[in-house]
Amino acid sequence: DTAVSQTPKYLVTQMGNDKSIKCEQNLGHDTMYWYKQDSKKFLKIMFSYNNKELIINETVPNRFSPKSPDKAHLNLHINSLELGDSAVYFCASGGQTYEQYFGPGTRLTVT
């Protein structure tokens, strides 16, 4: 059973489009995260939700909007995609013990 899953794995789209990435975890964790890993492999946090409540909101363009319908799901919606949004996006979840469990990533390519 996959602990943290993301769909789709690859996403190729044109500038200006709107797209969503879905994430689900079956670990029973209360906290979920979205990270962006750019071409230089730097992994940077974007958002975090704890039990459906937004607790971390880094300096991210407001074209990015997370949504947590329940504590097992955290989706990422991106409006008006730009070339600079091309990256790998990782979802993660964590419990009380601070370590985090990452999904397989979604490679977004904006053309």
Partner 1 sequence: SQKIEQNSEALNIQEGKTATLTCNYTNYSPAYLQWYRQDPGRGPVFLLLIRENEKEKRKERLKVTFDTTLKQSLFHITASQPADSATYLCALTSNDYKLSFGAGTTVTVRA
Residues that bind partner 1 (CB under 8 A): 4, 31, 33, 40-45, 48, 50, 55-56, 90, 92, 94, 97-105
Nearer to partner 1, 44 or 80 (CB): 44
Cβ at position 51, least distance to partner 1 in Å: 12
- The structure tokens 């989706």 sit at 75
- Of residues 61, 73, 58, 92, the one with CA closest to residue 22: 73
Taking the complex as a whole, the smallest distance from the CB of residue 96 to partner 1 amounts, in Å, to 9
* DSSP codes joined into one string, 40-91: T--EEEEEEEETTEEEEE-S--TTEEEEEEETTEEEEEE-S--GGG-EEEEE
CB of 42 to partner 1, least distance (A): 6
> Smaller CB distance to partner 1: residue 15 or 54?
54
Smallest gap, in angstroms, from Cβ of residue 60 to partner 1? 14
